[in-house]
Structure formats: structure tokens, C-alpha cells
Amino acid sequence: MATIQDRAPASQASLNDDIGEEKRLAMYRMQVEIREAEQRAFDLFLQNLVKGTSHLSLGQEAVAAGFATAMRPGDLSFCTYRGHAHTLARGVPIAKVLGELMQRDTGLMRGKGGSMHLTSVDHGVMGSYAIIGAHLPIACGAAWRAQYKGQKDVTVCFFGDGTTNIGAFHEALNFAAVWKLPVVFVCENNLYMEYTPIGDVTAVQHPAADRAASYGLERIIVDGNDADAVYRAATTAYDKARAGHGPSLIECLTYRHSGHSRADPAKYRPEGELERWKQRDPIKIYRERLKQFGVGDDVIARIDADVRKQVDEATEQCKAAPPPSPDILTSDVYADGGFAWRN
Amino acid sequence: MAELTYRDAVIRGIAQEMSRDSDVVFLGEDVGKSGGVFKATVGLFEQFGPVRVRDTPISEQAILGAAMGAAMTGLKPIAEIMFSDFFAVCFDYIANEFAKSRYMSNGQLKCPLVVRTGNGGGARFGAQHSQSVENWCMMIPGLKVVAPSNPRDVIGLMAAAVRDPDPVIFFEHKSLYPTKGEVPDGEIVDTLGSAKIVRPGKDATIIALALMVPRALAAAEKLKSEHGIDCEVVDARSLVPLDTQTILGSVSRTHRLFTVEENPRLCGWGAEIVSIVADEAFYELDGPPVRITTPHIPLPAADVLEDMALPSVERIADRVRRSLQS
């Protein structure tokens, strides 16, 4: 029997120009920005300038770009520890993200959160959560607030295939379905639960989509390496949520080009698998797509160069930035700004 | 002024805050239509409707997660976890999520929510429905922890907890639900982080919490009438913030310290208080501080055994008398 790992999903692309050039160029640029920033994070780690751990989205850029581009200002993102991509995709400056990874005072949370907890409330990034599954119920709560207050924002919750086997996933899906919450659950199925093929530890072939029926939800599988397909699925789900018709669960098939975390060389992968998936690199696919729509090589090259320059500048800014100021060690434990637990 | 049960005080406390602020919402298992398994939320569903008082599935992670997400984005949820023992199945939210999000986000995220829960022994429910777990929460930076001992404090501390900008764990004692107390009319709003001297005395300080407060008071009366020992009883009320000034002040007058804790002995809150007093008021003490606790055991179901495990009026009185007379 063919396993999910053997099947690179076929692109559902068509030449239907429902998305438009402006958004397509933005989605391309976003994917390149994520690719370059993640690659830079990895390089900086090798130079010991990014410390701790980091979980890269190399190869998964189309999911972040597609969902974020379809969002409106005010929509909320909840991410996992593999959250750099989703944070950048909401417009958080590269220097803020790299600064946090490099543990600088100029980082997004001034070094208090680190790679796994990127948060930018001003951009609708309501946190990156490092306990698998924890943020699905939290996303339900944010969506409940929108429903309660009659606000039209949508909450979007990203997670990996491994998350589908933890209890909080099932609690959240049932809860969201019963309360008809305006939340969109996005499973980035990159085929590996950390180091283990997801198929080896899951009772169904599609870890998210095959569970949807349990919660009365539609079975949705999207080519996660095609930003247009992702964008369309996102738009449909957001419209449904805004119309008050409840949650969606979308499984995006994709593949991470690097290991699970910085410590993982990913030697458990069968020979040739990475190469097969690199044939379906989301950025490569999207360059072709742009060309099909008549975008010139020069435009694409200009975007590529511009993004690289941005990442270079952000890197230099971060290298020059000071470490976190010691006075924030005990700040913001409580709402009064401090950490006092006694009088 | 009216006499109210602790149970009815919970209802009045929640109702007071829900009437005041439409951002206050309430969720939990069986809390709405059924009025709660302890009947401590009867009438709220009828008064505030199904949009503000919401029955949930048996999904403790979803309950606390949803409360957190709602709190982060503008509501002030009160979430019920039916038995505090169940904190163990949703402890991620208590220990990792809403306690830490403000710090990790460098102050960007807020989490003004209340988790109320039935805590403590005495109902013969056995080891998984009887525990006192306030010390599980006291040790986590970012949380506030309160445990009222009487109906008036239930209302006042509930109001303070709902209005507080931080996550507050609100321990209601199951064995106190039927107990009665005088409650003033009108709005009651207390402050978190203030202990209360509930019986002044000059010979020894007894610090107690929740169900242990009435037991400490009864022990103090017994010690006075039978042995002429005059104990000061302090209701700690709030473990975080901790009112160390009231505690240190009392010890500096009586020169003896006893804690009465329902939690099993190891790492109970009394250990922290003894440590603070040892650090800061050692030379005020005329004798070693004494912790009276449940032993380091899971709670048994049988009444005779459970009664032996929890600090009783007799055990408290006996332990204080033996210490003072030795």
C-alpha cells in the first residue's frame, strides 16, 4: 500500500486568475522572505549567533503565505514553536524575528520568549506555543470572544501533523464544532512527527482530514506547496467562519526540507524523498506560476534581490543590537509590571 | 445583613460581577442548566442566559484554553473546574500557558481570568476528588491564588479576582459549601493579598486557610476554655499575593507560630511561611514553628480514615498545647 510519504500531492493549479497579480506578487515575496530569513536563522545558528533551539519552516512557506495573505487586518494567528514563518507572514519585521532568535534587546519580546514563543499582538500574532496542542483550545477562546461580541475577525490556528494525536486537538475540535466558533484549524502535514513518520503512529492516513468527520466537519486536503491552492482554501474557510457557519479543519500536505529542530539532521528519511519533494519546492512552483501569468524574470529577480538585501540589513542590525537589558529579568510576571508575590 | 451559605455566596459573587460587567462570562461542566454539581451556580443560567453562562463538554483543557483565549482578547471569563483534582488533566494551561504568556510575550499578552474549583476533603470522595492542591498553584510564577473560608470572603474575593488583571485560581472548599455566615447587603469587593486576623490572641499565632480556619478557631476556643491559652488565628485567605506583613506582625506579638494546612505535608504553603518567619523574624520566636498538616499520603475514602488524615480541632489544639507547655 502506498504510504502518504510516497505521494507528492498533485498541484491543483489552474490558470484561473481569481487571485490577481498584486496578491500573487505579495505571496511570492512572502515565501521568499520566509525562505531567506529561515535560511539565515540556520546560518546564524552555525555561527552561534542564534542560540537555544529553532524549528524552521523551510519547504513549508506556501502554507504561511497563503493563509496570511487571505487574512484581513484584525484576524488572529495562533502558531506553534515552528512559528517564524507565520509571524513573518503577518508582517512582523524580519529584524524583530531575527533579533528574538539572536536574543537581542531589539527582538520581538526582548529575548524573554525566544524562537518558540514569537508573539506580536499588534500584527495579530497571538503567540507561538511550544506545548503540542495547547493553542487549539486557546484559539477557540479567541474565536468565542469574536462570536460573543459580534466581531467579524477570524482566528486561525496552525499546527503540525503530530498534534492530531494529542488530546487537546480533539477537545478543541469538538468544542469549536459544538459552539460553532469562527476558527480555522490548519494542520501542516509535513509527514513527520518530529523524527517519526506520521503514518507509523496514526490510525488513519490523513491525520487531520480523516478525523474531520468525527466533529461533523468537511474533509479538506490541500496541496500545501501551492500557495494559490492554500489561499483559496483559506478564503473559503474564512468566509464560512465570518458568516457564522463555524470552524474548518484544513490539512495542508507539505514537507520540511530541514530536520525537526536545529539538533536534527533528519537521517531517518528514505533516500530520494527530500529530492522528490524539492522538485515540488513551493517557491519553485510559484515562480513558474508567476511566469505563466506573464510576470517577467526581471520582476522575480528584483523581488529575490530585494528580499535578500532586507534579510542582510536585518542581520546586520541584529548583530549590532545589545543583549537584553538586565532590568527586564523580573518585569511583566504580573500585570503591575513586576514579580512581587508578597508585601 | 443576611445569613448566607458559602454555596449561595458563590452564586451571589458571580452574579454581582456578571451584572456589573458584560465582559464577564462563565463556563464549565454542568454549570448552566443544572446549576453545578455542588449547586453553587444555581440560577445564573436563568439570570444571564445561555450566551454568558455556557455548559461545556467534559474537556478540561478546552475549558481552560478557551477561557485563556477569551481573556487574551477582551473577555473576563470565569471557568469552573469541577474538582481541583482535575487540574492534573489541564495543568498545562495553569502551569505553562496563562501563567507565563505575559512574561514570555514581554507584556504583550494579558490574561484576566478566574478559575474557580471545588477543593479539599471531608466528603469521603477518596484520593482523586478530595485533594487540597493550592500548593500546586502557589509555586507557579504569574498566578494569584486565593481560598476563602466564609461566605463574605467568597463574594469579596470573587469580585477582587474577577476585577484583577492577572489569572486567579479561586479555591472553594467543598466542605464549606453548606456553612453559613453573615453577609452585608449591597456590593462587596475585597482585596487580593490581604490576610485577616479572625481571632486576636497573645500566646501563639495559628495561620490557617479555607476549611482549616473554622477548625483553627474552634481549637483556639478549646485551648482558651480548657487551658487558658490565648491563640491568635490568622486566615491567610490569599497565598499569592501573600500578606506577610500581617503574619510577621502577629508572630512578633505572640512569639509562637503554627500553620494548619490541609495539603499533604511536603512543600505545603505553611513551609513557605515558616521559611519567611525563620528568615525575617527568627529572634521573635520563643520556640520552633510547627506545621500541622495532612500526612504525606493520598486521602482515603472511609470516614474514620479521612478524619484521621485531615487536621482536626482536637489535633490542632493538642499540638499547640503540647508545644506551648513543653
Integer Cα distance of B45 and A105 in angstroms:
48
Residues of A in contact with B72 (CB under 8 A): 126, 138, 141-142
Helix intervals (H) in chain B:
6-20, 44-48, 60-72, 91, 101-104, 134-138, 151-163, 212-227, 244-254, 269-280, 303-309, 313-325
B69 → closest Cβ in A121, A142, A335 = A142
Residues of A in contact with B73 (CB under 8 A): 76, 126, 141-142, 145-146
Please say if B60 is a catalytic residue.
yes
Query: What is the residue whose three cell numbers read 489552474?
Result: A14
Task: Answer whether B104 sits within 8 Å of A171, measured CB to CB.
Answer: no
Task: Answer whether B73 sits within 8 Å of A145, measured CB to CB.
Answer: yes
Integer Cα distance of B60 and A273 in angstroms:
40
SS (H, E, C) A43-74: HHHHCCCCCCCCCCCCCCHHHHHHHHHHCCCC
Integer Cα distance of A139 and A79 in angstroms:
10
Which residues, 6+ apart, have CB-to-CB distance to B209 below 8 Å?
B134, B147, B149, B235, B236, B237, B239, B260, B261, B262, B269
Domain spans of chain A? 20-311
Tally of CB atoms within 10 A around A143: 33
What pLDDT, on the 0 to 100 scale, is given for residue A6?
A: 46
Residues of A in contact with B110 (CB under 8 A): 335
As beta bridge partners, residue B293 has: B261
Task: Answer whether B64 sits within 8 Å of A137, measured CB to CB.
Answer: yes
As beta bridge partners, residue B81 has: B117
Distance from CA of B37 to the nearest CA of A (A): 21
What CA dihedral angle connects B281, B286, B287 and B289, to 10 degrees? Answer: -30
Per-residue pLDDT of chain B (326 residues; tens, 9 = 90+): 899 999 999 999 999 999 999 999 999 999 999 999 999 999 999 999 999 999 999 999 999 999 999 999 999 999 999 999 999 999 999 999 999 999 999 999 999 999 999 999 999 999 999 999 999 999 999 999 999 999 999 999 999 999 999 999 999 999 999 999 999 999 999 999 999 999 999 999 999 999 999 999 999 999 999 999 999 999 999 999 999 999 999 999 999 999 999 999 999 999 999 999 999 999 999 999 999 999 999 999 999 999 999 999 999 999 999 999 98
Tally of CB atoms within 10 A around B62: 30
Task: Answer whether B61 sits within 8 Å of A137, measured CB to CB.
Answer: yes
The three-state secondary structure class of B167 is coil
- Find, in chain B, the residue whose alpha carbon is nearest to that of A77: B69
Contact between B232 and B206 under an 8 Å Cβ cutoff? The reply is yes
Residues of B in contact with A140 (CB under 8 A): 62, 65-66, 69
Distance from CA of A172 to the nearest CA of B (A): 6
B241 → closest Cβ in A121, A134, A342 = A342
What pLDDT, on the 0 to 100 scale, is given for residue A15?
A: 65
The three-state secondary structure class of A175 is helix
Task: Answer whether A76 sits within 8 Å of B109, measured CB to CB.
Answer: no
What pLDDT, on the 0 to 100 scale, is given for residue B120?
A: 98
Which residues, 6+ apart, have CB-to-CB distance to B284 below 8 Å?
B251, B252, B255, B277
What pLDDT, on the 0 to 100 scale, is given for residue B320?
A: 98
Distance from CA of A136 to the nearest CA of B (A): 8
Integer Cα distance of B285 and A251 in angstroms:
65
In order of their start, the domains of chain B are 2-183 (3.40.50.970), 196-325 (3.40.50.920)
Contact between A182 and A147 under an 8 Å Cβ cutoff? The reply is yes
Active site residue: B129, B172, B232, B306, which one?
A: B129
Task: Answer whether B71 sits within 8 Å of A331, measured CB to CB.
Answer: no
Q: Is the pTM of this model over 0.90?
A: yes
Tell which residue, A59, A104, A107, A108, has the closest CA to residue A85: A59
Task: Answer whether B25 sits within 8 Å of A148, measured CB to CB.
Answer: yes
The CATH class, in words, for A20-311 is alpha beta
Cell numbers linked to A38? 529561515
DSSP string, B192-231: TT--EEEE--SSEEEEE-TTHHHHHHHHHHHHHHHH---E
B92 → closest Cβ in A113, A131, A144 = A131
Please say if B227 is a catalytic residue.
no
Q: Running DSSP on this structure, what letter comes out for residue A182?
A: S
ipTM above 0.95, yes or no: yes
Contact between A287 and A274 under an 8 Å Cβ cutoff? The reply is no
Task: Answer whether A134 sits within 8 Å of B93, measured CB to CB.
Answer: yes
A332 → closest Cβ in B69, B102, B276 = B102
Angle at B33 between CA B27 and CA B35, to 5 degrees: 75
Per-residue pLDDT of chain A (343 residues; tens, 9 = 90+): 334 544 445 554 456 789 999 999 999 999 999 999 999 999 999 999 999 888 999 999 999 999 999 999 999 999 999 999 999 999 999 999 999 999 999 999 999 999 999 999 999 999 999 999 999 999 999 999 999 999 999 999 999 999 999 999 999 999 999 999 999 999 999 999 999 999 999 999 999 999 999 999 999 999 999 999 999 999 999 999 999 999 999 999 999 999 888 788 888 999 999 999 999 999 999 999 999 999 999 999 999 999 999 999 999 999 999 999 999 999 999 999 999 999 9
